[in-house]
Structure 1
Amino acid sequence: MEVTIDKNSGYCFGVEYAIQMAEDEMEGSDKLYCLGDIVHNDMEVRRLSQKGLEVIDREQLKCLTDCKVLIRAHGEPPETYKLAIENNIELIDASCPVVLKLQHRVKNAFDKMEKEDGQIVIYGKKGHAEVIGLTGQTLEKAIVVMEDSDLEHIDFTKPVTLFSQTTKSTKGFYELKEKISDRIQEAKVSLSEIDFNANDSICRQVSNREPQLRNFSAANDVIIFVSGKKSSNGKALYQVCLQVNPQSYFVESEEEINSAWFRSADKVGICGATSTPMWLMEQVKDYISSLKGELVMAE
């Protein structure tokens, strides 16, 4: 049995940057708070917790003073920075540069739409940390769209500027763009008469993983996809694997692996989400490799 880890899997730049900042800060500090899980992977959160990283929510943040709080890669709305000043909290800002740039673009577009009686629409998941940061740039006026039913909140007779959460599907974004265009035409307003701007703000480091995973899944007999169950990116990328290779299995750790999934002659591919640490995929590889003798005997 041949076991290979996908070289394109693992942390994206933003997550890697945030974790490195947290570890660097904890080397000289007994306590560091993190606003929300630093990454959607329970095993990595647990590892960092043992080093002194304590996860808090927004309500707990309001009660803190004179301490250090890490802002994770997803970014935060302006209110978080205002509260930090009021409570004398030092922010260790690990916001992903791609997300920060998008926040700036959304803020500028919102100011323009306010003058034109227009709307900011964000393709993303309601309540997702990044989306909270983006809607915060619009005084919470942005319309978040994920399902077709969410389109009912848009006034298609008024200007629309569309953005996307950086980790969403490129295919889904362009499908939404077409749906909004169709609705504008249904409202009997031509696109030449209304200002409709669609901004593809999806991170290419993330979106490029879909075609890469398709190739990787096709090249292996069995796929073990390693991801935290909280990761929306993980759920989406696992489906990409499953579409190509029905012998794809989603696990959080090696403890969930079933030896019955493998045959001794199989080529096994291990891959993961942008929130999956390489050390965890290596751990899974070592476990699967340890099953080789057992599988040979089974045949």
Structure 2
Amino acid sequence: MNVLIDKNSGYCFGVEFAIQMAEDELSHEHSLYCLGDIVHNRMEVERLHGLGLRIIDREQLEEIHDAKVLIRAHGEPPATYELALRNNLELIDASCPVVLKLQNRVKHAFDASTRQQGQIVIYGQPGHAEVAGLTGQTLNQAIIVMSEADLDQVDFTRPVTLFSQTTKSTAGFYHMKAVIEERIKAAGGSLDSFDANDSICRQVSNREPALRIFAQQHDIIIFVSGRKSSNGKALFSVVNQTNPRSYFVENEQELDEAWFEGAESVGICGATSTPMWLMERVKARIEEVGVSA
């Protein structure tokens, strides 16, 4: 049985940068706080915990003073930086440059839309760290949508500016854009007042067509990702639509030997939050299954 790891899978630049910053800091510090999971992958979080990275939530951040805190790639709203000043916290800012640029675009769009009685709509997952950072640029007035039903919150007789969480599905974004256009027409509004911004990270979106090709080349696909990863859910959907014999696992312990019966080729791929070392571990376990079969 031939087992191959997708060379295009693994960390995106932003996640790799954040983890490198954490490791660099921990090379000369016993411990380091991180606001939220540094990456949506339980295995990697556990590895970094062993090095001294301590995950805290926002309530805990309120109580911490005179310490170092890592800001992960997802970015943070302005309120976090204001709190850091009050509590004398040194922020090690690993916000992804793509996310920071998007935050700036959202803020400028919000300032402009306020003058025109417009609305900022963000296609993203409610409660997601990146989305919280984006809505913070709008004084938390942005409307978050994941489905067509969520669009009931929007007044389509007023101007609408649409953005996307950087890790969402491209197809999902353009479907939402089309639905908004239909609703504006139905409400008697003008499409001239609708500004749709495809703000999905190209390093993420370019993986979709590559994954479809990869999924077609193998009898079975093992997709490795943390279950909290929004990007993982989106990319697995792409893989599963292409190859029905696709399985989602967090680690090698979740593999089922029955999946590989009669398979000659197995492809392993993952999310932008999946470390290569974890996919290597999954590969080693599958090869053990192949030898024993």
Q: TM-score range by the shorter chain?
A: over 0.9
SS of residue matched to 1:155: coil
SS of residue matched to 2:176: helix
Count of equivalent residues: 293
- Who is 2:290 aligned against? 292
CA distance in structure 2 between the aligned counterparts of 1:101 and 1:258, rounded to whole angstroms? 42
CA distance in structure 1 between the aligned counterparts of 2:25 and 2:161, rounded to whole angstroms? 39
- Who is 1:115 aligned against? 115
The answer on 1:94 being equivalent to 2:94 is yes
- AA partner of residue 71 (structure 1): I
| Cα deviation digits, residues 122-168 of structure 1 (max 9, x gap) | 11111100000000000001111111121111111111111110011
SS of residue matched to 1:293: helix
8 Å contact from structure 2 (residues 124, 144) kept in 1 = yes
* Larger deviation, residues 135-144 vs 229-238: 229-238
- AA partner of residue 199 (structure 1): N
How far does residue 265 in structure 1 lie from its aligned partner after superposition? 5.5
8 Å contact from structure 2 (residues 135, 141) kept in 1 = yes
Mind listing any 5+ residue stretches in structure 2 that lack a counterpart?
A: none
- Who is 2:44 aligned against? 44
8 Å contact from structure 1 (residues 71, 91) kept in 2 = yes
SS of residue matched to 1:224: strand
CA distance in structure 2 between the aligned counterparts of 1:168 and 1:210, rounded to whole angstroms? 11
- Who is 2:185 aligned against? 185
* TM-score, length of structure 2 as denominator length: 0.98
The answer on 1:172 being equivalent to 2:172 is yes
- Who is 1:104 aligned against? 104
SS of residue matched to 1:205: helix
CA distance in structure 2 between the aligned counterparts of 1:119 and 1:258, rounded to whole angstroms? 48
Of 209, 232, 252, which residue of structure 2 is paired with 1:234? 232
8 Å contact from structure 1 (residues 217, 245) kept in 2 = yes
CA distance in structure 1 between the aligned counterparts of 2:181 and 2:214, rounded to whole angstroms? 35
8 Å contact from structure 1 (residues 5, 281) kept in 2 = yes
CA distance in structure 1 between the aligned counterparts of 2:32 and 2:235, rounded to whole angstroms? 31
8 Å contact from structure 1 (residues 264, 292) kept in 2 = no
How far does residue 206 in structure 1 lie from its aligned partner after superposition? 0.5
- Who is 2:259 aligned against? 261
Identity over aligned residues, as a percent? 68
SS of residue matched to 2:137: helix
Alignment of 1:127-276 (within 5 A): 127-192=127-192, 195-263=193-261, 266-276=264-274
- Who is 2:54 aligned against? 54
CA distance in structure 1 between the aligned counterparts of 2:263 and 2:236, rounded to whole angstroms? 24
CA distance in structure 1 between the aligned counterparts of 2:238 and 2:173, rounded to whole angstroms? 16
How far does residue 10 in structure 1 lie from its aligned partner after superposition? 0.5
CA distance in structure 1 between the aligned counterparts of 2:263 and 2:126, rounded to whole angstroms? 45
CA distance in structure 2 between the aligned counterparts of 1:59 and 1:9, rounded to whole angstroms? 34
- AA partner of residue 127 (structure 2): G
SS of residue matched to 1:212: helix
8 Å contact from structure 2 (residues 2, 264) kept in 1 = yes
| Cα deviation digits, residues 44-74 of structure 1 (max 9, x gap) | 0000000000000001000000000000000
CA distance in structure 2 between the aligned counterparts of 1:199 and 1:253, rounded to whole angstroms? 36
CA distance in structure 2 between the aligned counterparts of 1:251 and 1:65, rounded to whole angstroms? 39
Gap change, CA 1:245 and 1:63, over 3 Å in 2:
same
| Cα deviation digits, residues 165-191 of structure 1 (max 9, x gap) | 001111111111111111111111232
- AA partner of residue 45 (structure 1): V
* Larger deviation, residues 121-130 vs 232-241: 232-241
How far does residue 87 in structure 1 lie from its aligned partner after superposition? 0.2
8 Å contact from structure 2 (residues 168, 230) kept in 1 = no
- AA partner of residue 231 (structure 1): S
SS of residue matched to 1:197: strand
- AA partner of residue 82 (structure 1): E
SS of residue matched to 1:229: coil
